[in-house]
Amino acid sequence: MNNPPQFTWDDLQFFLAVARTGQLSTAARQLRTSHATVSRRIDRLEFALKVKLFERNPRGYVMTAMGARFVETAEKMEQETERLRADLTEGATMQRGVVRLSAPEGFSNFFFARVLPRFVTSHPNLSLELVTIQQIMSLSRKEADITVVLDEPKGGPYFSDKLTDYHLQIYGSKEYLRRSAPITCRDDLLNHPFISYIEEMIFAPGLDYLGDVHPRIKPRFQSSSIFAQLTATRNGLGLCVLPYFFASRYPELERVLPDDVDLRRHYWITCHRDLRQSPRVRAVIDFLREAVVGEDVRFIPPWVKR
């Protein structure tokens, strides 16, 4: 049993040429082929689709109602093909437009801001919008093109990939620790004021650290901003669980119970599946993947075995 012939993109090009000119001879000249080849390709396309696309008459080819409807589909395919060809030909120069990235405050300020000059240099035609108020961003409502999140999305039309692990430990200023009661075990932490997130404003389970440190810790100072928490810690207001990748940059801070408390969290990069192959979105995702493995920021502490 013979299978029916399959049409190709070339067949659609022949169809569009005839649809636009109404003449086999004119279409043949545009496509630099013969009158007979154009006729054969149209016949093959109609046979493969099992539908009549043109009425033949002495004055030329006139589209049927089905043929007119098929033009819209063929033109969309033509546009996507041209866009893909341009992307492949022009490469990075065609990666242009606006990309909105939503990411946590710590990731944005202490990592992405550091590598931003490199991004601008390598992608001069892209305009970037960086949003750090993550609670209000929604991929499903297209409020952001890409999000960096702490918890992998479950379900939905999303692409997600783990960007990196990162570690957190307890920190206090050296001056605060010098004048405060010694800390030799987790129970000693109950004698010290803690700095943390406002509980009802924690927008991701991964930010709820204190329960993993000690179930009875009650924070003294709370803020929705990790930068405010860092500043309060540096100013000696108490102890705080902070990511290693930026807390380690401040020599006035010291790790507390480093051998006992070491929390691991993850950054995930996500986007709507419809946008995954967009050149502008793909450029940002690829850049982030490359940047996290560089030496600009050390998400993984040197004492952790990879």
Name the CATH topology of 9-90.
Arc Repressor Mutant, subunit A (1.10.10)
pLDDT in tens, 76-125: 887 777 766 656 655 544 566 888 899 999 999 999 988 999 999 988 88
Query: Measuring CA to CA, which residue among 75, 74, 53, 51 is closest to residue 64?
Result: 53
Contact 222, 196 (CB under 8 A): yes
Contact 243, 164 (CB under 8 A): no
Query: Measuring CA to CA, which residue among 145, 149, 138, 162 is closest to residue 273?
Result: 145
Could you say which architecture CATH assigns to the domain 93-164+267-292? Answer: 3-Layer(aba) Sandwich (3.40)
Domains of the chain, by residue range, sit at: 9-90, 93-164+267-292, 166-265
Contact 99, 284 (CB under 8 A): yes
Phi, psi of 73, deg, nearest 5: -65, -45
Which conformational region is residue 118 in: left (phi greater than 0), alpha (psi within -120 to 50 degrees), or beta?
alpha
pLDDT in tens, 146-200: 999 988 877 777 889 999 999 999 999 999 999 999 999 999 999 999 999 998 8
Confidence of residue 279 (pLDDT cuts 50, 70, 90): confident
Kindly state the helix (H) or strand (E) to which residue 213 belongs, with its residue range: helix 210-213
Residue 201 has what pLDDT?
A: 81
Length of the chain: 306
Q: Inform me whether the pLDDT recorded for 246 exceeds 70.
A: yes
Residue 97 has what pLDDT?
A: 81
Q: Which residues have CB under 8 Å from 266's CB, separation 6+?
A: 150, 152, 162, 163, 164, 165, 166, 206
**CATH 3.30.420.40, domain 166-265, yes or no:** no
Query: Measuring CA to CA, which residue among 173, 217, 174, 180 is closest to residue 197?
Result: 217
Parallel, antiparallel or unpaired: strands 126-131 and 219-222: unpaired
Same fold, 93-164+267-292 and 166-265: yes
Residue 199 has what pLDDT?
A: 85
Structure tokens at 66: 């089905």
**Rg of the chain on CA atoms, in Å:** 30
Separation between Cα atoms, residue 244 and residue 200, nearest integer Å: 25
Q: What are the beta bridge partners of residue 241?
A: 170
Structure tokens at 234: 């540096």
pLDDT in tens, 215-237: 999 999 999 999 999 999 999 99
